[in-house]
Each structure stands twice: as C-alpha cells, then as structure tokens.
Amino acid sequence: MTATLENITGLVAAPADELTWEVRFASANPALHHQLYVNGILAGWTDRPADRRLGVPAPVGPCQLVIVAVDADARGADLWDQLGLDLPGWVCPLAVQRPAWPAGLQLVVRGDHATGQIDPAPLAVEELTPAWLECSGWGLDAFGAGGLGLDGSTGPGLGGGAFGAGAFGVGARLLKVRLALAQAGDHHLQLTVVDPCGQASAPVTVNFHAAPPPAPAISIAPLAYDSVNHILQVQAT
C-alpha cells in the first residue's frame, strides 16, 4: 500500500462560501488519489487521481491541513497513525474500547474550554455501539447472514481498527476520537456513556494541555524606521 507525503506542494485553503472552505494543492503523484486530514482527522478524499481540490466545513479554530497521496483502494481508510506524524499541540487524542453490547450507546465528551467550569454543551458525541458492530469478523459468519455485502468476508472490523482491540477480525472495536481545542491552557474533559433511554454513566475525567498557535494579527502598523540599519519596527494587534 502506498501512502506518501512526497511531491505535494502549493497547498492553499480559502473560503468557498459561509459554510465551506476549498482546499487546493499540486501533486506530482499522477496515479494516486489524495486524502485530506484536518487536525489529524480524515476529512475527505479525491474521487479521481486527477482531482486537486477538496471541500471541507469552515474551520472554527486552528487547523493543520495535511494532503496524503494513496492508492485508490485505500483512499477512504484513516491512515494517520501510519504516516509517522505527530498530532498538533491543540488536538487531544482519545481512545475508548467499544463494549460488546447493548446497541445504541453513545460516547459524550464535554469540556471546560480551559476555564475550570465544565460546559454542558458536548464537544463531541460519538456512536459507541453501532449496529454493524455485531457483524462477525473475517470467516466467522455465514454468507448472506448480514446485509448486502456484510457476510463474514467483508465485516467492517476487517483491518479497520486497532489490532487486538476486539475479537478476531474485529479490530474496529476501538473508537478513536480527536478533539481540536482552540483555547490555550489546561483542559478538563469529561467522558460519559449514554444509553438510548438517556441514562448516563459516571463521568471519567481526562486532562490535556492544549498549545494552539498564536491568533493571527488583526492589524499591523509601522512604529519607527531606522534608516541607518534599515530596520522597520511594527506593532501587530
């Protein structure tokens, strides 16, 4: 499998409208498709090797954009952990092992935005036990026992998660969440599991220190110019 960062240049991101941004790039990998990762999260991929632009939701905080050239059959797979790249300093990685049952559980993540006070509005809500989790791994189910294309040979766990996290062939039992935290400082995150009836487990607290990049300057004004040493002093606010 090919996954490379080489020969990719000219990355530009600009607003397309109020809700979306367009990401354009150049690539000297003509036979490969391309993926876009935003803050370490797979955000999209090209449908054709010749495509050189992708659309993403408008960012609400700091973003790291990474373009990766991949084989056609891997373009929809999350390959971040195989690229050898570190997550940005403002992205908190979480990993939760999915329980075997019951179906319909959700993982709810809340945070304090580095204020010390937990905000009741969730930062993320993820499906913890989706219906497909009951599908058997490779070779452990009868043909036609599941939905169209979901017999044992094509179970969604096959190669789709962390090795050893679940039963044989069901590595997808490991749920990975990456949270981009815009506020600099120490964050306190609360993780709870909520069942379909709305009952929540006791929260588990995770601490994370976020180091986002400095905010861009709103204005730049000249202060003084040293004509002898050719030094211009400016003030950015």
Last residue of a domain, one of 58, 86, 114: 86
Same domain, 12 and 73: yes
Task: Using the Cα atoms of residue 75, residue 78, residue 84 and residue 86 in order, give the sign of their dihedral.
Answer: positive
Q: Please report whether residue 234 resides in a domain.
A: no
Domains identified in the chain, total number: 2
Q: How far apart are CA 95 and CA 179, in angstroms?
A: 11
Same domain, 102 and 66: no
User: Over the stretch 116-144, which tens digit does the pLDDT of each residue have?
Assistant: 999 999 999 999 888 766 554 444 444 44
Same domain, 108 and 202: yes
- The C-alpha angle 56, 61, 22, rounded to 5 degrees, equals 25
User: Over the stretch 157-195, which tens digit does the pLDDT of each residue have?
Assistant: 444 444 444 444 444 577 889 999 999 999 999 999 999
Q: Please report whether residue 236 resides in a domain.
A: no
Percent residues over pLDDT 70 in the chain? 82
Q: Please report whether residue 154 resides in a domain.
A: yes
User: Over the stretch 89-121, which tens digit does the pLDDT of each residue have?
Assistant: 999 999 898 887 788 999 999 999 999 999 999
Which residues span the domain enclosing 40?
Answer: 1-86
- The C-alpha angle 114, 118, 124, rounded to 5 degrees, equals 90
* Closest C-alpha among 111, 110, 88 to residue 37: 88
* Closest C-alpha among 32, 74, 71, 70 to residue 50: 32
Same domain, 125 and 208: yes
pTM reported for the whole predicted model: 0.72
Question: How many CB atoms neighbour CB 129 within 10 A?
Answer: 22
Q: Please report whether residue 44 resides in a domain.
A: yes
